[in-house]
Every structure is written in C-alpha cells, then in structure tokens.
Amino acid sequence: MNTHNPQQRPRPRLSQCLHLIILMAIATTMLTACGAKKSASSQRAEQPVGPAFNADSALWFCQQQCNFGPRTMNSAAHDSCGAWIASRFAAYGMSVSLQKATLTGYDGTPLSATNITASHNPQKQDRILLCAHWDSRPWADNDPNPDNWRTPVMAANDGASGVAVMLEIARLLQTADSLNVGVDFVCFDAEDWGTPQWAEQATDADTWALGAQHWAAAIEATPDSLKPNYRFGVLLDMVGGQAAQFYQEQLSKMYAPQVVKRVWTAAQVVGYGSFFPKKEGGGITDDHLPVNQKAGIPCIDIIPYYPDCQASSFGPTWHTVDDDMAHIDPATLKAVGQTVVQVLFTEE
C-alpha cells in the first residue's frame, strides 16, 4: 500500500473556494462517469453474454466422430475422421492448418499423428487457445471385463466430446458478433497412446499427450517475435459424460489460478455452477501440462472428477467399451459449452 502525508496549506479566500468547488464538481462528474464505465465493463462479466450453445448440435458432432469407429492411431478411421474434423472447421470460416509428425508410442510403435489447428480471427494478435484431443484409446484397459482390455475404445466422451464442443463454438462464431480476440481451436492427436495397465513396463507419464508435447515443443522453439500471443488456454477433456462434475484440477490451479477462477465464475453466471463446484480435484497428466511447461501458455483442464466412483475418478466409462454415445449427456455438453462461450465473449 502507498501512503502519503498531506502537507498543510493556507486557508483559501472565498473566490478561491468557489473555484475549488467548481473544480471538485467537475472532477466528481468525471469520476462518476469513469466509475459508470468501469461498472458497465465489470457487469458484462456478471451476466450471460454471447450466443446460446446448442447441445443437440454438439451431440451430432460427437455422433459423427463415432460413426467413423474408434479413431485409434494408424487406422483408416483415424485418418478419415481427422479429415472430416478439418473440413468442418473450414466450413465455418476457420483458417485450418495441419501439423503432421511421426511420434513414438510407449512400445516403440511409430504413430502417424496430425494436430489440427483452426483459427478464428487469424489477424488478431491476442488469442485464446481452446484444445481437446481427437484420437481414441486403443485398449479398454480399465474395463471390468478382462476380455475387453485389448479392445479399442469408441471414445464418445474421452475424445469426441471435447472436439464436439469446439466445433459447435466454431459454428456459433461464424455468425456471432465479432470477438475482441482471436481463437485457436487445436485438436491434439496421440493423447491416448499412454502405457496400458496390462503392459509389462511401468507407466510413464511422458507416453501420454504425445501430440500436445510435439505442438508445445514447436511453440517453444518459435522465435518470440513470431509466437502467437496466447492470453490463456482451456483444455476440454471428457466433457460429455453422464452425472459429470468438473472440480478444479490441481495442476490447473498451480499454473493458471486466475483462469480457473474466471472459468468457474463464468459457469456460475450462466447457471451451471452445479456442474462446476468450487472444489479441488486431483492433479492430472493431460495435454495442458506441455502447454504450460513447454509452450509457456497458462492453460487449465476442464475434466470430470467422480470422487465416489470405484472404477475410476474419471467416471465409470473411462477406458472401457462403455464409452459410447449411449453414455453421453447433452446437459453436460451444454454446461461446458455455454461456460466457454461466456469466457470468450467477456474477453476485453
């Protein structure tokens, strides 16, 4: 706090008093106007703004991805779905670029990966990062039935839901009032090729989020003068599950506490506070880690937390054959989507 001690001054004459009164009145009027402007600006974040997120549309985007089948690495379904995702973003007026790379799986398997970036308002220097992974888990290694442990996961929630929310937001942006910032939608590949539970070797955190690691390393290597000016990022992971609640993920709070605060406040404002309780969940190895650690972008993870689920704190369908469209809830998609819309449209 700055403090000061006012100096004693001679008492002014009457004419000087009148002059001071007039000046004080003008100053008061100006301060009131500035206060009103500031109040109006703050009130913008205290009421719902932006277009209505269409949960049925997001559900359709989720279904379309699943129609390709499991989007496992090095599969025809994976490549076809990736081309479809890119085409949908392009259809909504986004500038689309593909970052292709051959990455190495936990077992040495070469993985033909593609990170898909779709940019809204590409001319804007200040940008917001929205991201999700689009590949499917090759093995249902958390399924209660051991016979399913090597069965590919449909990944309606763990993959398709996050992309679906981003596609719906992209669709809305093509006709909505212009944002004050640019938005980059990044679909990370090769997130779910992490070491399976049945593997002989111990689980290695670096075997997960391979596409995000590659993307973040490229950002890290870019000269500062050419780097996008990302204000912050939001990762959407498993954002369509039944009975989902999104606790505040620990690493998000560590790397980007102000972003966490802003997103959870936005959820309250748009009426979805029950989906976003102000409680702390676990710390998750996910795509947001390399975004924070390598790319230096403060990024949070919107990811469900089921504290009472014995199968997994990620929910009963995580890495099982039941991660299908029958277990997707449009209400969850709506809660997450409208919250993100609120965040974007309150960005000054």
Work out the mean pLDDT of the chain and round it to a whole number: 89
Residue 109 within a domain: yes
Concatenating the DSSP letter of every residue in 171-185 gives HHHTTSPPPSSEEEE
Q: Which residues of 20-47 are buried (b: 16+ CB within 10 A; e: fewer)?
A: eeeeeeeeeeeeeeeeeeeeeeeeebee
Least confident of 3-7, 86-90, 119-123, 277-281: 3-7
Write down the pLDDT at residue 258.
Answer: 98
Write down the pLDDT at residue 45.
Answer: 66
Calculate the CA dihedral of residues 122, 126, 132, 133 and round it to 10 degrees.
Answer: 60
- pLDDT, tens digit, for every residue of 200-254? 888 889 999 999 999 999 999 999 999 999 999 999 999 999 999 999 999 999 9
Domains of the chain: total: 1
Write down the pLDDT at residue 44.
Answer: 57
Q: What is the DSSP letter of 243?
A: T
Tell whether the model's pLDDT for residue 28 goes beyond 60: no
Cβ within 8 Å of residue 182, ≥6 positions away:
119, 120, 121, 122, 123, 124, 125, 126, 127, 128
Write down the pLDDT at residue 27.
Answer: 41
**Angle in degrees, CA 152, 153, 156, rounded to 5:** 150
- pLDDT, tens digit, for every residue of 270-288? 999 999 999 999 999 999 9
Distances (CA, A) of 29 to 41, 43, 73, 77, 140: 18, 21, 64, 65, 66
Record the pTM.
Answer: 0.88
Residue 315 within a domain: yes
Residue 4 within a domain: no
Distances (CA, A) of 22 to 16, 17, 211: 10, 9, 65
Tell whether the model's pLDDT for residue 24 goes beyond 60: no
Residue 33 within a domain: no
- pLDDT, tens digit, for every residue of 134-150? 999 999 999 999 999 99
Length reported for the chain: 348
Tell whether the model's pLDDT for residue 38 goes beyond 60: no
How many CB atoms are closer than 10 A to CB 313? 17
| Strands 126-133 and 182-188, bridge-based pairing | parallel
Q: What is the DSSP letter of 345?
A: H
Tell whether the model's pLDDT for residue 5 goes beyond 70: no
Tell whether the model's pLDDT for residue 32 goes beyond 60: no
Tell whether the model's pLDDT for residue 42 goes beyond 70: no
CA–CA distance, 320 with 132 (Å, rounded to integer): 19
Expressed as residue numbers, the domain containing 168 is 53-196+208-345
Mean pLDDT for 16-35 is 39
Instruction: Look at residues 107, 111, 127, 137 and name the one whose alpha carbon lies nearest to residue 237.
Output: 137
Residue 57 within a domain: yes
pLDDT category at 9 given cuts 50, 70, 90 is very low
Residue 222 belongs to a domain with what CATH number?
3.40.630.10
pLDDT category at 14 given cuts 50, 70, 90 is very low
- pLDDT, tens digit, for every residue of 56-113? 999 999 999 999 999 999 999 999 999 999 999 999 999 999 999 999 999 999 999 9
Tell whether the model's pLDDT for residue 1 goes beyond 60: no
Mean pLDDT for 165-172 is 98
- As a whole number of Å, the CA-based R_g of the chain is 24
- pLDDT, tens digit, for every residue of 310-332? 999 999 999 999 999 999 999 99
Tell whether the model's pLDDT for residue 176 goes beyond 70: yes
pLDDT category at 37 given cuts 50, 70, 90 is very low
Residue 2 within a domain: no
Residue 23 within a domain: no
Tell whether the model's pLDDT for residue 297 goes beyond 50: yes
Residue 11 within a domain: no
